[in-house]
Amino acid sequence: MDLLKVAEDAFKTESKEKPSFGAGDTISVSYKIREGNKERIQIFRGVVIQIKGTGSTKMVTVRKMSGNQGVERIFPVESPFIESIEVNRRGKVRRKRIYYLRERTGKKARIKEKRRM
């Protein structure tokens, strides 16, 4: 028996439903920010560049353009600070890690939308 798996199951808290998404998808991550004794929810909307890890160690890197500057943020999917994850649009990409998006700007940085049949 794997001891790491036993320990993870023992400390697992009830997690909220997370939608399935992959690289190239545009998602909105609502997460809690604590400022002093106040708490607020901020939404980070961007393209998923990569998904790393499995289970409770799953991490998602999301990239958005803020003005003319690219901003990337890494979110642990099972974090208690994440309120919800919403998939805005599905992207059609051929790779799991789309780092090439970092060098591209403007129309070259667009990702085709996946067609639903």
CATH architecture of 26-103: Roll (2.30)
pLDDT at 4: 75
Q: Is the pTM of this model over 0.95?
A: no
| Residues of the chain below pLDDT 50 | none
Question: What is the Cα–Cα distance from 66 to 43, expressed in whole angstroms?
Answer: 13
Question: What is the Cα–Cα distance from 24 to 91, expressed in whole angstroms?
Answer: 5
pLDDT at 96: 94
Q: Spell out the domain ranges in the chain.
A: 26-103
| φ, ψ at 25 (rounded to 5°) | -80, 145
Question: What is the Cα–Cα distance from 85 to 17, expressed in whole angstroms?
Answer: 9
